[in-house]
Amino acid sequence: MSQPFPDTPLYPQLLELIRLNCGLTFGDDRRETVCRAVQERMTQRGIPAPESYYALLRREGEELQALVELLTVNETYFFREPDHLNLLVDTLLPELLNTHDPSQPLSLLSAGCSTGEEAYTLAMLLAERQGVPRPFPFTITGIDIDSHAVAAARNGVYGKPSFRAMDPRMKERWFETAGHGAFRVRDSLRQQVRFEVANLLTAPNTELLPPPAIILYRNVSIYFPQEVQLRIFRQLADLLQEGGVLLVGASETLAHDVGILPLLERQGLFYFAKRPAVGIGDRRSTKRILSPPPPNVTSPPTAVPPTERRQPAPASRHPRMAVPVDTDPRRTFDNALVLARTQRDDEALALLGDLIERNGTFLKAHGLKACLLLNNSRYDEARTAAEAMLELDPLCREACLLLGIIARHRGDNDEGFRRFREALYIDPDCWLAHFYTAEILFNRQERKRALGSYEAALRLLHNDTLQDPGQAFFPLAFNVPQFISICRHKLSLLQENG
């Protein structure tokens, strides 16, 4: 009798093989799912020994593909997150058409299309708004790693769950009955959409996929670790036409606002664009940008969330100039704060370094330094600065927040969770700690606990706790409406799924 696969030393090697080839990762909570899929494939191939099956996976890409298809999640439906779709079709797309060569069709891509509901939704919306002229002035392509999902998308037959958010009148216009409670996309619409098998982790085939003006990459990246998320996002950004638009899921905006593409806001909704633009950090409401406290206030700055990273300012905007060193630590700190608020991070860090060298117990200086280093993705240095804060004040909530955010960026969610819980122990009303705790619990599929944490964060955000003096000191404002939107979106998903 062969040893079960999860009990062999090959199991972690199997997970690494999957990660390297398609970017997917599986925690201990998915161990049973992985092993069930492996056992199913071993039975189908008539291979009793785990060692033999692992050797087959390394030897045959087709078998690895078959296993991955058993592991991917294809949960989607028509008209998912309709606000973003309406913004795209009613506002962003007409603007793109104004600058687009009318002799060429405008290309749209649904990346990670699953069984095709999103791509067909785009086709329906465009046909409703534009009519269906000949030739259709758009090309719509859906790509996914799962060949069975792509085959289902091409077939265009759907059951009741796919129509949960769809207007019955649109369903009647664009679908015909296919028996046994199923409905098929009408040929007039189906011929406007094509589907291809493609791995988002590898460079896209530009012959197969012309550069799109619009990419929808929604509710896909949640299945990837952070380094894979960023690699895929960068490849999609490279593929996107100049002036094009890239939409991610409402809950995924924070993870992708890392300076690859500018983050913009319209009608309270967020999207990425491939053009020189004012980033979301420069569009913040002024009532959220708070003045620094008097010199005797010693609260350190609150940790900056990833969504608030700013794009580097052009060199001509802030000409570099010598900033005189002030022997008064409070004035030196204020000068560094001004530099930070005008996006002159290197100069601010130089002043803070001088200040800390002269006065290593100035807690706010360590805090501002940690925030700026985190903003610039210098995670090891940011962690050192945050740890210095804890050495000065073991009950420093902001230091715990910073360390938690840094841990998440490094892919260590266990450490991040521990740090956010420490922040809540110090301050139970810290909405940011509730939010990030909820995000980790959501990814762990601990639905009940995630629900409670999102509800706590949303309640505190509605109470406008950011104005509280204990959390007010921060050189860059939080985008509270975006956090509220994400909390509401995640709560709706959790309630929808029971």
Each residue's pLDDT tens digit, 113-154? 989 999 999 999 998 887 655 566 889 999 998 888 899 999
Question: Is 56 in contact with 63 (CB distance < 8 Å)?
Answer: yes
Specify which residues 216 forms β-bridges with. Answer: 110, 247
Model confidence at 29, in pLDDT bands (50, 70, 90)?
Answer: low
Instruction: From 118, 100, 341, select the one nearest 244 (Cα to Cα).
Output: 100
DSSP 295-356: TT--PPPPPPPGGGPPPPPPTTTS-----PPPSSHHHHHHHHHHHHHTT-HHHHHHHHHHHH
Q: Which residues lie below 8 Å from residue 85, measured CB to CB, with a gap of 6+? A: 79, 121, 122, 125
CATH topology of domain 82-277: Rossmann fold (3.40.50)
Q: How many distinct helices (H) and strands (E) make up the chain?
A: 22, 10
Q: Is 34 helix (H, G, I), strand (E, B) or coil?
A: helix
CA distances to 64, 68, 225, 250 from 71, in Å: 11, 5, 16, 24
CATH topology of domain 283-496: 1.25.40
pLDDT one-digit tens code per residue, 223-261: 677 777 888 899 999 999 999 999 988 767 777 777 789
Cα end-to-end span (Å), the chain: 40
Residue 37 has pLDDT above 90, yes or no: no
Question: Is 256 in contact with 224 (CB distance < 8 Å)?
Answer: no
**pTM, 2 dp:** 0.51
Q: Is 449 helix (H, G, I), strand (E, B) or coil?
A: helix
Query: Where does 5-71 sit in CATH, by number?
Result: 1.10.155
Residue 399 has pLDDT above 80, yes or no: yes
The two domains 5-71 and 82-277 share their CATH topology (first three levels equal): no
Q: How is the chain split into domains, by residue range? A: 5-71, 82-277, 283-496
Residue 451 has pLDDT above 80, yes or no: yes
